[in-house]
Amino acid sequence: MLIPAFTVTLVEAGAGHVTKRLDLKAVGQRVSEMSKAAELEVQPDAPVEELNVGVQQRVETLKLLYRGQRHTAGLPTPPDR
């Protein structure tokens, strides 16, 4: 579930297992790198409430990738560009 008041970085930070102080800059950088590598085009500092449904689906996919899950079968895929 995405929280509208959060940025993409905060959503992704919550997807990991946080045991120490959170480095949001590092999380944002990792989200940006993962987004580019997966060709999902998600801005880490974008507020979730401003994202359209398609981008929110990409954020959900990034959450799975951030957690280390490699298989995303059954998830909706972004439309072809």
Task: Kindly state whether residue 1 falls inside one of the protein's structural domains.
Answer: no
Helices (H), 1-81: 8-15, 24-37, 53-66
Question: Do residues 48 and 7 make contact, with C-beta atoms less than 8 angstroms apart?
Answer: yes
Q: CA angle, 60 as apex, 76 and 14 as ends, to 5°? A: 165
Domain membership flag for residue 41: yes
User: Over the chain (81 residues), what is each successive 10-residue block's mean pLDDT?
Assistant: 82 64 83 88 91 92 77 56 53
Assigned domain for 52 exists? yes
In a domain, 71, yes or no: no
72 within domain boundaries: no
Tell me if 38 is assigned to some domain.
yes
Domain range for 33 is 8-66
> Is 77 contained in some domain?
no
Computed on alpha carbons and rounded to an integer, the radius of gyration of the chain in Å comes to 12
Domain count, the chain: 1
d(CA 47, CA 61): 17
